[in-house]
Structure 1
Amino acid sequence: MPDSVTEAADVVDVVDAWMQQPNDRFMRQPWLETLVRWTGMDRHAPPVRDTIAAMDRAGVSCGLLSAWHGPTGPLISNDEVAAVVASHPDRFRGVAAVDLTDPMGAVREIRRCVRELGFVAVRVVPWLWNLPPNDRRYYPVYVACAELGVPFCTQIGHTGPLCPSEPGRPIPYLDEVLLDFPELVVVGGHVGYPWIHEVLSLATKYPNFYIDTSAYAVHRLPAELVEFLRGRGRERVLFGSNYPMITAADCLRRLDELGLDDEAKGLFLSGNARRVFALSG
């Protein structure tokens, strides 16, 4: 038996497009209860050393750490993310989160995070706000991302937490955003099930829309997405784990079952993320 996923899958480099380094405030959120029940994960925030060890087991060289901001305030602040990135700059990059109810403050914070802290993207989780991404409160965020040349990351599909899933439906919500902001790069995380055909139609229609596979072990990906990843969509799908809800090692354990050729595998595991987020390496 191989000692690691890296050996099992002959992985040279992996970039994880969706991770968290949670704090106790985040881990106490009541909406995590369903994920705790499904995954059996610990309610205690893992120390950074455990996060890096989990990355090493799967050959993850770089993880994109997401801040979280919701209607009640920051759950993982941008400065908390920045501190982790600064302590391990060779392993992490930051993804900012902002307050949708403070448009000017959100724009200023995005500029600070990108220009001063070196963050590589912005993420808003729609179900946390119960606002679909075509809501007017997102639009200053889109302008700032397009202005600074960083991707806007979001969640697509149903929710694990017991919250409405409708804000994660791709059409019409993201369709309208992509029409209004042709310069904006959008990364939809968590695959988009059960609206996978809507997801793939957007990826076909818009060259600046990407999909990340966070929250899914790769052997559980929808067959339509796997077919897309093997062929014409090989430059449009990024690997993500959603750590600590699921580790990269658990996500990638059955990678070879996807039947990817070497080019598609390399693009999926790291090449697409390095291009989309302008990562060195």
Structure 2
Amino acid sequence: MTSGDAVDVWMQQPTERFLAQPWLESLLRWTSMTRAVPRVEDTLAAMDEAGVGVGLLSAWHGPQGSLISNEEVAALVERYPGRFAGVVAVDLADPVAAVKEIRWYVRELGFVAVRVVPWLWNLPPNDRRYYPLYVACVEEDVPFCTQIGHTGPLCPSEPGRPIPYLDEVLLDFPELVVVGGHVGYPWMAEVLSLARKYPNFHIDTSAYAVHRLPPELVEFMRGRGRSRVLFGSNYPMVTPGRCLDRLPELGLDVEATELFLGGNARRVFDLRA
């Protein structure tokens, strides 16, 4: 499907703790996913099938504690060099420890980003508890990744609304690189207005098969937004192969396709070829 140069910017290698969460129930109804922990070999095979050379594996931390720990992600990155890159997750309730953790995993272990899923905390990204993390991301020169749009899990969607929440963050931190995952539907006008307003704001297509992307986002990808949209799957909820199965239907030219599949991600996350 692709040559192996693709980068999947939103993946998880779930743990039993993660898969036991009750909010996954709605996703289980919509997908073929089960609560069985996938083997890493199956994850790599799914990547290979779709031509994904590198997957960004995210840790998960919520109010209930660690669901996928940074240590577990680091072990996979070390075990499979060149195939995975780590994304830090931290405890918003302990900002001092969170900043120390970000610095450690970025400086010592080469993690490439920080992710906080706002619906997991029911806190929008302009909440004061995020702000020390933003300073750490700017100082360590790594992107802050978050979820935008409605939630598939049975949790409130409001924290994923782009305006006013992300708008205020991007105003307060003009140097902060932000990647909004899961497209941002149903607030596409807000998402695209932020992308046009702020050069450091990017969108990833995780959780969507590409033929189901909103038409206005596809139009953006074909034109001036070709450098601002990144491919992501949200594996194992959706496999990268399923996401990319009907890629030609987007009508992207060669440059836009290469940027979407990997070029933008390698630049934004400073991934070494």
TM more than 0.5: yes
Q: Distance in 2 between matches of 1:244 and 1:50?
A: 10
Shift of 1:40: 2.3
Q: Distance in 1 between matches of 2:4 and 2:232?
A: 16
Alignment of 1:191-270 (within 5 A): 191-270=183-262
Q: Is the 8 A contact 2:205 2:231 kept in 1?
A: yes
Q: Aligned letter for 1:203?
A: A
Choose which of 166, 176, 186 in structure 1 pairs with 2:178: 186
Shift of 1:12: 5.0
- Give the count of matched residue pairs: 273
Tell me, yes or no, if structure 1 residue 164 matches structure 2 residue 159.
no
Q: Aligned letter for 1:137?
A: R
Q: TM-score, normalised by structure 2?
A: 0.99
Percent of aligned positions that are identical:
78
Partner of 1:103: 95
Q: Distance in 2 between matches of 1:141 and 1:174?
A: 14
Tell me, yes or no, if structure 1 residue 120 matches structure 2 residue 120.
no
Shift of 1:82: 0.2
Shift of 1:42: 1.6
Q: Aligned letter for 1:146?
A: V
Point out the more displaced range, 257-266 or 36-45. 36-45
Choose which of 165, 187, 192 in structure 2 pairs with 1:173: 165
Partner of 1:36: 28
Per-residue Cα deviation, 1:175-221 (whole angstroms, up to 9, x for no partner):
00000000100000000000011000000000000000000000000
Q: TM-score, normalised by structure 1?
A: 0.96
Q: Aligned letter for 2:145?
A: C
Partner of 2:268: 276
5+ long unaligned stretches in structure 1:
none
Partner of 1:148: 140
Q: Is the 8 A contact 2:4 2:53 kept in 1?
A: no
Partner of 1:233, secondary structure, is helix
Choose which of 18, 22, 30 in structure 2 pairs with 1:26: 18
Q: Aligned letter for 2:50?
A: A
Shift of 1:116: 1.1
